[in-house]
Structure 1
Amino acid sequence: MNIGQAAKRSGISAKMIRYYEEIGLLPAPKRSESGYRHYTDADIRTLSFIQHARELGFSSEQMKELLGLWLNEVRQSSEVKALAQKHIDMLERKIRDMQAMVSMLKQSVARCAGDERSDCEILKDIEQGLDTNQ
């Protein structure tokens, strides 16, 4: 199938498919005599795997590692678990950081009059830098 058909079947745009090839997540597909890319069902499964990993927030580098493990039939599940746990830890840190940002912004919003005056506590707090480590 051509790249348009692969995009349709995988739900990933042709532009992203080319990008995944460029960064090495997807191997370069075979080409027809006229130079068009030709994708197989295995490529579609790989694209689906990449898409699901992306939806879980894995980075391109993590996805390369995941793909390597997925394709390696003699892998140890402990390697996969360790990678997933590391990702969970990072996501939990991000969640804590975002919750702290929300809390600080809520405090700024609560102090802002929100009327026709130009004085705004939100902008003052942003100018001073919100301390999200409180």
Structure 2
Amino acid sequence: MSDIPAELRFAESHEWARLETDGTVTVGISDYAQEALGDVVYVELTEVGTAFGAADQAGVVESVKAASDIYSPIAGEVVAVNNALTDNPELLNSDPYGAWIFKLKPSNLADLDKLLDAAGYRAAIGA
């Protein structure tokens, strides 16, 4: 069964978002997504300074099974990327909620309220 932390918000496309104390939003993929992908072998990271709208493609995760687009769960500007994933993409498998992909300065924090809470995400994936 997939781990679904209560403090996170989730996009239906399986990205998670966590509001940080500095007002940024950290983004990664859910435990459910990494399980479905299988062994992750490559992560295409976006560039710092890139602006995304909610649901814009923000990168790619490749596994031994498939390649899957990563979408920005909310609108904002990328302020950091997790370069550790370049050499160690398997971190998404071993620690999906610790191995974040990018951080955003949100355009509108209220966008987080449009995402699923843990219970809503659990229902969406049938867990």
Query: What TM-score bracket applies, with the shorter chain setting the length?
Result: under 0.3
So what's the TM-score if we normalise by structure 2?
A: 0.24
So what's the TM-score if we normalise by structure 1?
A: 0.24
Query: Whose helix proportion is higher, 1 or 2?
Result: 1
Q: Bigger radius of gyration, 1 or 2? A: 1
Query: Whose strand proportion is higher, 1 or 2?
Result: 2
